[in-house]
A and B are shown apart, each in its own frame.
Chain A
Amino acid sequence: VQLEQSGAEVRKPGESLKISCTNSGYGSNNYWLGWVRQMPGKGLEWVALISLAGSESRISPSFQGRVTISVDQSTNTAYLQWSSLQASDTAMYYCARRPSITASPFDYWGHGSLVTVSS
């Protein structure tokens, strides 16, 4: 199982950003991919979730309007996107895999994409 996440990013407030996560391996489209935020020294917060087999997605009410989630089914890649970053978006963003069964846990996690927003 491999979840390949894009690398660390540094942006200024107001800039846009798109980070990615690719699920590789046999049957890799039979999963959903989720994003989990961990701000410096803080806990885990679920951000968004998307199916690799279709366009069904969920965004946490806490992040609604702040982020967009999308998928490229041809490459089993999920994306998390911001149109206007804020300093408070500075965090590690983990990609995690969930089997296509409702209420399944995240069974594998990527190593994280560090996003730094600073002027």
Chain B
Amino acid sequence: QSALTQPRSVTGSPGQSVTISCTGTNSDVGRYYSVSWYQQHPGKPPKLIIYDVDKWPSGVPDRFSGSKSGNTASLTISGLQPEDEADYYCCSYAGTYIPYLFGTGTNVAVL
């Protein structure tokens, strides 16, 4: 099973909104409501910021929001802040034997 497809990079100015897409198939993103998003700063481990498409773990600001339509999930960062500059990865459940299928990753730059 191939990695989910994300844009390589997205750029925004402080205060703006950016949206990252995550395209899969009807065997993963399109089939399950189990899409999560992870934020990774350089040299750090990933951090869960969205799960089950649109839920927030405790402590994650609601500037981050998730959605899904068909085989594509999306992460929107509203009110972009300098500390949001990082790599973002989507991840979908794809069944019992492939419980985690990651996306290709998107670098968010804040100009």
On whether the beta carbons of A109 and B91 are closer than 8 Å, the reply is no
* Complex CA distance for A102 and B94, rounded to whole angstroms: 11
Across the interface, which residues of A come within 8 angstroms of B36, CB to CB?
Answer: 105-106
Among B19-27, B42-50, B68-76, B78-86, the stretch that binds chain A is: B42-50
Interface size on A, residues (CB 8 A): 23
Interface size on B, residues (CB 8 A): 27
On whether the beta carbons of A109 and B45 are closer than 8 Å, the reply is yes
Name B92's closest neighbour in chain A (CB-CB).
A103
The verdict on A60 contacting chain B, using a C-beta distance below 8 Å, is: yes
On whether the beta carbons of B51 and A105 are closer than 8 Å, the reply is yes
The verdict on A49 contacting chain B, using a C-beta distance below 8 Å, is: yes
Q: A residues bordering B, Cβ < 8 Å?
A: 34, 36, 43-46, 49, 58, 60-61, 94, 96, 102-112
